[in-house]
Amino acid sequence: MNILDKIVIDKRKEVDLRKSLIPIHQLEASILFERKTNSLVQKLKASTSGIIAEHKRRSPSKSVINQSSNVQDVAIGYEEAAVCGMSVLTDGKYFGGSLDDLLLARASCNLPLLRKEFIIDAYQIIEAKAYGADVILLIGAILTREEVKQFSELAKSLSLDVLLEIHNEEELQKSIMPSLDMLGVNNRNLKTFEVSLETSKQLSQIIPNDFVKVSESGISSVEAIRALQAYGYKGFLIGENFMKTDNPGVSATEFINTLES
């Protein structure tokens, strides 16, 4: 059993517990549920940098990345850096995140917020909306085509953008449909945790141009982004590179300044 399988098993238990504690009607009564969402897709299309900056405390591949910085400071710093959006990890067991992180980020900035989570149930999409997200992530490796369709159409009905993450051509062909906005290529193999930007380059050829292309994981240099832009990528998800520093916002500012100079 690989790490992704373990995460999904634990996530099903966690979601079942959450559903028993907070019913859907309670989520739908949240003040943030009526909030007008902020489109990450539009921001990426208009941007020259395309940076989606992540808040991440730890990961299964790197254990601790940054346990000391608080979400509010990171969100404010990212907004000052003029990133296109902020990704917030809400998985607790493996990444040290929580839905409270999403709430705090929402209260601290006006950036489009991506709920970075292992979504395996429609409940989590209602939850994302109730906690202030603008975008959800769907992972092709853990969902059937029917689930991708059901979850993406639900997200669109709530005015949420949908980023579908893929790792190979099989996941792309299985999952591609009109209710998706962005196709994200994860350069990290979630089964082995090895990283290669070649994954993004190879898959770029077969991703239809109707979708905004996003490259995720292992992006740590301006040169890597410039190389990927040549393959049609408009979005770049960067977490560890900023979060491993003392001030992620300042790191993001310096990175974007270099990229745009």
Active site positions, annotated: 54, 56, 116, 165, 186, 216-217
Q: How far apart are CA 66 and CA 112, in angstroms?
A: 22
User: Residue 83 CB: number of other CB atoms within 10 A?
Assistant: 29
3-state secondary structure of 188: strand
Position 141, amino acid: A
Q: How far apart are CA 160 and CA 134, in angstroms?
A: 5
Beta strands in the chain (DSSP E): 51-55, 58-59, 63-64, 85-89, 113-116, 135-139, 161-166, 182-186, 212-216, 233-238
- Is 216 in contact with 183 (CB distance < 8 Å)? no
Q: Which of 136, 133, 164 is nearest to 36 (CA)?
A: 133
User: Residue 198 CB: number of other CB atoms within 10 A?
Assistant: 9
